[in-house]
Structure 1
Amino acid sequence: MIRHTTTRLCPRLLVGLALLCVLPLAFAATAGQTETVSNAPQTMRLDYMHTGDADEQHYALDRIVIEPLPWAGNPARPIDDSNRGNNRFEVLDAATGELLYSRGFSTVFAEWRTTEEARTVSRGFQESLRFPTPAKPVTVRIHERDAANAFVPVWSIDVDPAALTVQRTTMPSTLEPVAIRDNGPSAHKVDLLILGDGYTEAERDKFIADAKRLSDHLFTVAPFKQRVADFNVWALMAPTPQSGISRPSTGDYRPSALGARYDIFGSERYVLALDNRALREIAQHAPNEFIEILVNNRTYGGGGIFGQFSTAAADNAFADYLFVHEFSHHFAGLADEYYTSPVAYAPTDAKVEPWEPNVTALHDPARLKWGHHVRAETPVPTPWPKTEYEAHQREYQKTRAQLRADKRPESEMEALFREELAYTNRLFADAPYKDAVGAFEGANYAAAGYYRPQMQCLMFDRSDAYCQVCSDAVEQIIDLYSRGTR
């Protein structure tokens, strides 16, 4: 049963008979295991293990699952043409090789293998691929970017939907999704699922309020604001016995429904959920194409993996920013444009043109990938007060690190963040190219060699708006997953 916060009476999961005319014929149209019968195919999930180290990797099948709810995707756009992600997977007709479905994505494993730990330790990560249940045997193929950022195949597996090994039953669940925003059939909309971690049963109402507050803020930010009618938003939580999630760097360990914790890869502010099986077992009980996990903590932190999930600390004073910034990684594959904060990833000398739409290595200024936005009078590279900014950042980062080392109250860290943003706003206020689109050096965790489109953007600092290039990139993904209402 799906509970609504609205007064709409009709069941949300009824997709409608009209969908029969637009479903790809290669995918099965079967009855859903919910109260309503859907004419969309059911959702197939391929769970696998991704293991290795900095030098090698291996894939191994875990299981193939038919999820309890119908496929929530847009049947009119089965093929991903966005060129986003460190990986791409394809579903092909096993007999003919016809491409039936594809999506770009990134992985926690790909991030981890760039860390120092990956040079000496082999680790395994759980991952999942979700797609419409096919009507006949298919080949599922995973591609990965090579050294030149071109996709090359790295693993494939044949999948027969009629095989006895396909898991077709799901344990009954008491989890009850809440419709925060219900704008129509899933096949026509982007389905955003907000999961809660670190909320007790007594804090269920707090979780719903947090989910509504932060998703409402998302839709005040352009272009989400203009495309709000293209989204459904769901909220779902599995209660935990204690409030909050683990933060190992402070010796604070708590049970977690989704395996979310701070200190991922040694970064005190990086929050990810590493128990993919637990996440998927919970998420399958609500329509979802994108997942944001709210952790019931005040300490600043979050994370985002393209096509997988994002996280944000719900009670931080900058939770609005965290929610949107981390969701931008997950939803649109946007790169971080900042470069002065410490990160867990080992730097590389090779400055290959990034696949992310909002950063560039600028190997050929005449062919800048967002060049259509650059006015003729704007120089490329584009000057900005970089020296002054970096001098201030060195002092700010020292203060930030000391606050954490001294275990000062989070309110002091929040005050420092406000002061830093105020300084940046003052510094940029009179800069000649403040509002111009160009190529501003300093992005993608590097002070030199990578460039961002505009001086300021919520992917660069804690400001509240995208640059034009990021806004375009978000709209492209909205169009991929929704039928569009523009």
Structure 2
Amino acid sequence: MRQRVLPCSLLLLLAGTAAAAATAASAAVTDDVAPRTLRVDIQHSGDAGVEHYALERVVVEPLPWPGNPARPLDDTNRGSQKFEVVDLGTGQVLYARGYSTVFGEWRTTDEAKALQRSFQESLRFPMPDRPVLVKVYGRDVRNGFALAWSLPVDPGALDVERAAMPAPARPIAIRHNGDPAGKVDLLLLGDGYTAAQMDKFQADARRLSDRLFSVSPFKERASDFNVWALAVPVPESGISRPSTGLHHASATGARYDIFGSERYILTLDNRAFRDLAQHAPYEFVEIMVNGDTYGGGGIFGQFSTVAADNDWADYVFVHEFGHHFAGLADEYYTSDVAYAAPDAHRVEPWEPNVSALLDPARLKWAARRSPVAPLPTPWPKTEFEAYERDVQARRKALRAERRPESEMSALFREEQAHVGALFADAKYRDAVGAFEGANYAATGYYRPQMQCLMFTRADAFCSVCRDAIEDIIELYVAGP
């Protein structure tokens, strides 16, 4: 890959960070200038039965495109949606990425059966030098991609927004391993930190970053990542938690109680977090909220969140990042979620780590399957479910009674110890097979291994999830 020119705007933005000198020294003068980043902000609306798209605005972001020019097309088949950027003259697909949406989750909730809502989304791609057609695809009844909407975009149009506000804060280089074009760029956005807590934000960012790169396969691929941190101070410490009457001003719009779930943290203000994030190189965003109440969330290709001060922040950070980064499905099925479990009409999920198939020849992870593991693979399911029913009842009682967070953490530690002991002597504990219970459903869906970071509060991904993560890393760092 030829080295790209890093414009003065980026070098100045990075001034004052540990990486600035190295970046400046390595910025070669060549004819390979990175394009700007074009962002198409859209509205995605509807209800449980219908959906609509509409253009909100087109924005030229202030920094160059950080992506890998050698891998413009996404062949991973991940996401509930996909978008393509198509040359109007030739029909050539110039760029494509899969992603998922907040709207897609919301439309499975009970609220979506009674009213329509609109959610903001962004499509980012290297700015073309000519008009293009942006095509948006959704999943059909067989989970294949079907065209849902298209939009002509002229980067030279008069209504394209080109003048960004000055950066409200400088990004901090937590880990810098080279030109963004050849690396995965992860941005840690802080929310709920006051001006007096900026040192705490940096410490939280470094701690959670270190945790991510202690878990395989991120551990082995750490040199393929740049990690940036950026936060704008807010007047009061913490974020909103409406179920307890707590409301705070927010830098990104992040809050608890999304879709009525007390632990679910998302932002529904896409514009707020994108206008902040655009001042750092990024492909992936983790919003770190300054709070100790258990919570987080993750949307593939959009963002993930974590409550940085919770006792289980290390686990939640990596778990939710698995959703956002690699499109991994939740493998658990005993905890309540705001959105509905899949219905009885089961199609094969697009997520790489869950399956509705027991045919050995069609199993997604057939190449990984242990020869000794029968399908379905036996595990102590009955005992696990009986114990989890008690845990979930106690968990609900703790929240209803507004007990101290330390009691919730203690319950989770007890749960982790019990499940670890239950699985310790299981015959197929380390096998790759098809373990029934996944994707929020007790029956009909299967996970690859008995234990995984996407199933319980384990400390490692299963081998199938590790492979899925590697696929995405390769999409951003490998050659054609």
Against the structure 1 CA distance between its residues 280 and 426, is the aligned structure 2 distance closer, same or farther, given a 3 Å change threshold? same
The 5-angstrom pairing of residues 347-386 of structure 1 reads: 347=341, 348-362=343-357, 364-386=359-381
C-alpha change, 1:14 and 1:196, in structure 2 (3 Å) is farther
Structure 2: gaps spanning 5 or more residues: 1-12
Query: What SS does structure 2 have at the residue aligned with 1:315?
Result: coil
Match of 1:135 among 118, 129, 139: 129
TM superposition shift of 1:12: 6.0
Aligned to 2:289: 295
Report the CA distance between 1:11 and its aligned residue: 3.6
- Match status 1:203 vs 2:197: yes
1:461 aligns with 2:462: no
1:419 paired with 2:431, answer: no
- Report the aligned-residue RMSD: 1.4
C-alpha separation in 1, matches of 2:101 and 2:26: 32
Report what 2:474 is aligned to. Answer: 479
* Match among 376, 390, 395 for residue 395 of structure 1: 390
Q: 1:24-43 to 2 correspondence within 5 Å? A: 39-43=33-37
Give the distance between the partners of 1:10 and 1:465, measured in 2 at CA.
34
Q: Which amino acid aligns with 2:420?
A: N
Aligned match of 1:93:
87
CA distance in 1, matches of 2:31, 2:398: 56
Match of 2:245 among 248, 251, 267: 251
Q: Does 1:167 align with 2:161?
A: yes
1:62-461 matched pairs, under 5 angstroms: 62-347=56-341, 348-362=343-357, 364-461=359-456
Equivalent-residue separation in structure 2 for 1:163 and 1:8 (angstroms): 35
Against the structure 1 CA distance between its residues 244 and 259, is the aligned structure 2 distance closer, same or farther, given a 3 Å change threshold?
A: same
Q: Return the alpha-carbon distance in structure 1 between the equivalents of residues 25 and 397 of structure 2.
A: 50
Asked if the contact 1:310–1:326 (Cα under 8 Å) also holds between the matched residues in 2, the reply is: yes
TM-fit CA distance, 1:14? 6.9
Q: Distance in 1 between matches of 2:24 and 2:279?
A: 13
User: In 2, Cα distance between the equivalents of 1:438 and 1:91?
Assistant: 39
- Post-superposition offset of 1:160: 1.1
One-letter amino acid matched to 1:93: D
**TM-score of the aligned structures, taking structure 1 as reference length:** 0.94
AA aligned opposite 1:377? V
- Superposition deviation, residue 42 in structure 1: 0.4
CA distance in 1, matches of 2:59, 2:340: 36
8 Å contact from structure 2 (residues 192, 237) kept in 1? yes
Q: Distance in 1 between matches of 2:237 and 2:112?
A: 32
1:72-99 Cα distance to aligned partner (Å, 9 max, x none): 0000000000000000000000111101
Separation (CA, whole Å) in 2 of partners of 1:162 and 1:415: 57
CA 362–171 in structure 1, closer or farther in 2 if over 3 Å, else same: same
1:314-353 residue CA offsets vs partner (Å, 9 max, x unmatched): 0001100011000000000000000000011123222110
Aligned residue in 2 for 1:26: none
8 Å contact 1:4–1:180 — kept in the other structure?
Answer: no
Counterpart selection for 1:46 from 27, 31, 40? 40
Q: 1:7 to 1:369 in 2, by over 3 A?
A: closer
Q: Residues of 1 paired with 2:76 and 2:398: CA distance? A: 41
Query: Which deviates more from structure 2 when the two are superposed, residues 313-322 or residues 362-371?
Result: 362-371
Sequence identity (%) = 65
Contact 1:13-1:186 within 8 A present in 2 as well: no
User: Equivalents in 2 of 1:77, 1:315: separation in Å?
Assistant: 37
- Tell me the amino acid that sits aligned with residue 218 of structure 2: F
Q: Which amino acid aligns with 1:43?
A: T
Contact 1:63 1:166 in 2 (8 A): yes
The one-letter code of the counterpart of 1:299 is T
* SS of match in other structure, 2:22: coil
The structure-2 alpha-carbon separation of the partners of 1:12 and 1:306, relative to structure 1 and needing over 3 Å to count, comes to farther
Cα drift, residue 483 of structure 1: 3.6
Name the amino acid aligned to 1:452: R
Q: How far 1:162 sits from its partner (Å)?
A: 1.2
In structure 1, give the amino acid aligned to 2:397: Q
Partner of 2:21: 9
Query: Given the two structures, how large is their TM-score scaled by the length of structure 2?
Result: 0.95
User: In structure 1, the residue corresponding to 2:371 is in which secondary structure?
Assistant: coil
Counterparts of 2:102 and 2:168, CA distance in 1: 29
Q: How many residues align?
A: 466
Task: Tell me: CA distance 1:405–1:429, structure 2 relative to 1, closer, same or farther (3 Å).
Answer: same
Task: Sort the Cα spacing of 1:389 and 1:217 in 2 relative to 1 into closer, same or farther, 3 A.
Answer: same
Gaps spanning 5+ residues in structure 1: where?
21-38
In structure 2, C-alpha distance between the alignment counterparts of 1:435 and 1:270, rounded to whole Å: 31
